[in-house]
Amino acid sequence: EPQDGALKDLILEEFVTFDALKKALTEASVGVQGSGWGWLGYDKAAHSLRVVTCANQDPLLATTGLYPLFGIDVWEHAYYLQYKNVRPDYVNAIWHIIDWKSVTERFKAAL
């Protein structure tokens, strides 16, 4: 979970709880049909966070206009050797290794 600051404040403003953000991004990522990415993106014009998905290798900024803060790779190469075809277990495990300092730095750079 991010430390106190502007990113955490915006997460709480938009998702009410960190767990709600986690649930939204997890469900979106697990729900990608085939290969792709789940993203937490920043909408600079609206000063808001959005959870979105992109198919295949489509870039977030070019396809949605959102600045990528954190992405979950749901191509099978990312998880198959360890998690086989159990994508939800892989996505849930991601939350234990997120470098929130890096996510916060990307957020600050996008402002």
DSSP annotation of 74 reads -
What pLDDT score was predicted for residue 4? 92
What pLDDT score was predicted for residue 22? 98
What pLDDT score was predicted for residue 97? 97
Residues 6+ apart with CB under 8 A from 102: none
The pLDDT mean for the chain works out to 96
What pLDDT score was predicted for residue 65? 96
pTM of the model: 0.94
Instruction: Tell me the one-letter amino acid at 93.
Output: A
The residues spanned by each domain of the chain are 6-110
Q: What is the mean pLDDT of residues 23-42?
A: 98
The closest of 79, 34, 80 to 57, measured between CA atoms, is 34
Residue 47: how many CB atoms within 10 A of its CB? 11
Residue 54: how many CB atoms within 10 A of its CB? 20
**What architecture does CATH give domain 6-110?**
3-Layer(bab) Sandwich (3.55)
Structure confidence by residue, pLDDT tens digits, 52-70: 999 999 999 999 999 999 9
